[in-house]
């Protein structure tokens, strides 16, 4: 099992420009918002492709691959920030797409939280000893890759030192979480997807398009941020 000692709100770099009291208040508010009833499927569906792919009739949920991703928040430039990865074009699932660090559960992972930590360390090199668990979002089935994903929200008390795994990650995009609350960052576009014409809600972040399961997870996170009073 991966170590996960509680770090609370220690270790903030002065350059991150969020005072200790404000940092503790943000962490406390987020943890409280994540511990209550979650926004759930309705928040996810707000950012879902329409029509969305579905599992084949009769497909057993037990046949899906359990996986986990991590929305890792940290203080930077006076705000809370979040990293996304641009997946390598050489990976088997969702090549070239924007996503949260994460992957499927492997033998030796004691829990899906441990999966999220391990994958975050492997893909973007973050020291897992510095990650504090704030809570979990609503799990999400991804029919096209036959995964069921558990998203977690974590906290790092300073901007991490990122080291990318070149075999899995082509680029790292960092942005303030308030971007998710900006109506100008959200679009609904018409795309031609394999086998269907679709309306695709997406976030436009730093010139990248964030859509699909990642957009659905971030859509729920945006509602949690609002409930926590974070902007």
Could you report the per-residue pLDDT of 167-221, keeping only the tens digit for each? 899 999 999 999 999 999 999 999 999 889 999 999 999 999 999 999 999 999 9
| Angle in degrees, CA 84, 90, 92, rounded to 5 | 85
**How many percent of the chain have pLDDT more than 70?**
87
Average pLDDT for consecutive 10-residue bins of the chain (231 residues)? 37 50 87 96 96 74 90 93 89 78 95 98 97 98 91 97 94 96 96 93 95 97 96 75
Q: How far apart are CA 164 and CA 158, in angstroms?
A: 18
Residue-level pLDDT at 18: 55
Superfamily the domain 14-53+71-227 falls into: Nucleoside Triphosphate Pyrophosphohydrolase (3.90.79.10)
Give residues with Cβ within 8 angstroms of 19, minimum separation 6: none
Q: How far apart are CA 20 and CA 31, in angstroms?
A: 16
- The 196-205 sheet, strands edge to edge: 186-193, 196-205, 208-210
Residue-level pLDDT at 96: 81
Residue ranges per domain, the chain? 14-53+71-227
Q: How far apart are CA 139 and CA 159, in angstroms?
A: 27
Indicate the DSSP class of residue 158.
Answer: S
SS3 53: coil
Residue-level pLDDT at 194: 87
Q: How many Cα atoms occupy the beta-carbon half-sphere of 162 within 13 Å?
A: 20
**pTM check: above 0.95:** no
Residue-level pLDDT at 2: 42
Residue-level pLDDT at 113: 98
Is residue 84 within 8 A of residue 166, CB to CB? The reply is no
pLDDT digits (tens, 9 = 90+) for 141-152: 998 888 999 999
Is residue 124 within 8 A of residue 172, CB to CB? The reply is yes
Residue-level pLDDT at 195: 87
Give the C-alpha distances (Å, rounded to integers) separating 155 from 8, 52, 228: 9, 31, 15
Residue-level pLDDT at 10: 35
Indicate the DSSP class of residue 77.
Answer: T
């Amino acid at each position: 099992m991966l170590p996960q000692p509680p770090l609370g709100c220690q270790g903030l770099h002065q350059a991150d420009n969020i005072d200790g009291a404000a940092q503790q208040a943000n962490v406390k508010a987020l943890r409280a918002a994540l511990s209550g009833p979650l926004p759930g499927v309705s928040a996810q569906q707000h950012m879902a492709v329409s029509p969305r792919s579905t599992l084949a009739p009769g497909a057993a949920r037990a046949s899906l691959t359990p996986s986990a991703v991590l929305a890792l928040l940290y203080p930077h430039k006076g705000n809370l920030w979040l990293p996304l990865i641009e997946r390598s074009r050489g990976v088997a699932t969702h090549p070239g797409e924007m996503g949260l660090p994460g992957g499927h559960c492997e033998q030796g992972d004691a829990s899906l939280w441990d999966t999220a930590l391990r994958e975050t360390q492997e893909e973007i090199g973050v020291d897992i000893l510095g990650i504090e668990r704030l809570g979990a979002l609503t799990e999400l089935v991804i029919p096209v890759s036959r995964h069921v994903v558990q998203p977690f929200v974590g906290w790092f008390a300073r901007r991490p030192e990122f080291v990318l795994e070149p075999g899995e990650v082509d680029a790292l995009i960092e942005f303030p979480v308030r971007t998710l609350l900006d109506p100008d960052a959200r679009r609904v576009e018409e795309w031609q997807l394999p086998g269907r014409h679709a309306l695709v809600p997406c976030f436009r972040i730093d010139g990248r398009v964030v859509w699909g399961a990642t957009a659905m997870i971030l859509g729920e996170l945006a509602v949690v941020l609002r409930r926590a009073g974070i902007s």
